Structure 1
Amino acid sequence: MAWFIKTETFRPETIALTIEQRSSYLKAHRAWIAQQAACGRQIRSGFLVDSRRRPGGGGLLIFQASSYVDALDWVRQDPMILADLVTWQLQEWIPVSGDGWP
């Protein structure tokens, strides 16, 4: 299994939504991630913050898939992508050093 990274940022139209309007989409995204992890997918998900720990820098998803095509098919099921709320990029990640994670 290969590792992949999906990065994303809110579209300007998404930023213009109120927190309450975005909340249902964020909850759906988190539920999807939790369901995928519960099914055994190796996955890490989170959002980016600035030096004052304010969100708004986008999100990061690290996960395993058998191929780029499978990763792309899977990531397109993300509720944030389905709702067209983010611009995103998918790349395979080849770790070369670290402490054993992932």
Structure 2
Amino acid sequence: MTWFVKIEKGIVPKHIFDQYVPAHLEYVAKLNKLGHEAKTGYWKEAEGGMLIFKAESMEEAKTIVENDPLVRNKCVEYVIHQWCIVN
């Protein structure tokens, strides 16, 4: 599997965003049970955050991201990148 990164920025008020954080964390736990080695977090000094995970292809990565509760509930805008580790 290859590493992928979803870099996101919140686009709704914090009180709405926070309603979906527990579902997002449950989703990340589910991804880990399936072997995707997912980690999620936010930028301390700025708005937004990142989800890093493994997938078989960009198509699978897009499906994973599209099923994230933060994306499904239109809480974030995002970009997906394949991360090519060099060291």
Q: TM-score, normalised by structure 2?
A: 0.89
**1:30 aligned partner, one-letter code:** L
Q: Secondary structure at the match of 2:31?
A: helix
The answer to whether residue 52 in structure 2 is matched with residue 62 in structure 1 is: yes
The answer to whether residue 32 in structure 2 is matched with residue 37 in structure 1 is: yes
Q: 2:17 touches 2:70 (CA, 8 Å); kept in 1?
A: no
The answer to whether residue 87 in structure 2 is matched with residue 93 in structure 1 is: no
Q: Secondary structure at the match of 2:85?
A: coil
Q: Distance in 2 between matches of 1:48 and 1:80?
A: 16
Q: 2:69 aligns with which of 49, 67, 79?
A: 79
Aligned residues: 87
Q: What per-residue deviation string (whole Å, max 9, x for no partner) do you get for residues 9-38 of structure 1?
A: 011xx12x53xx433211111111112212
Q: Distance in 1 between matches of 2:33 and 2:79?
A: 25
Aligned to 1:4: 4
Task: Please list, as runs of the form range in 1=range in 2, the aligned pairs for 1:16-27 lying within 5 A after superposition.
Answer: 17-18=14-15, 21-27=16-22
Q: Which runs of 5+ in 1 are unaligned?
A: 51-55, 98-102
State the Cα distance separating 1:41 from its structure 2 match. Answer: 1.9
Q: What per-residue deviation string (whole Å, max 9, x for no partner) do you get for residues 20-78 of structure 1?
A: x433211111111112212322111111111xxxxx52111111111111111111000
The answer to whether residue 41 in structure 2 is matched with residue 46 in structure 1 is: yes
Pair member with larger Rg: 1
Q: Which runs of 5+ in 2 are unaligned?
A: none
Q: What per-residue deviation string (whole Å, max 9, x for no partner) do you get for residues 72-98 of structure 1?
A: 11110000000011000001000101x
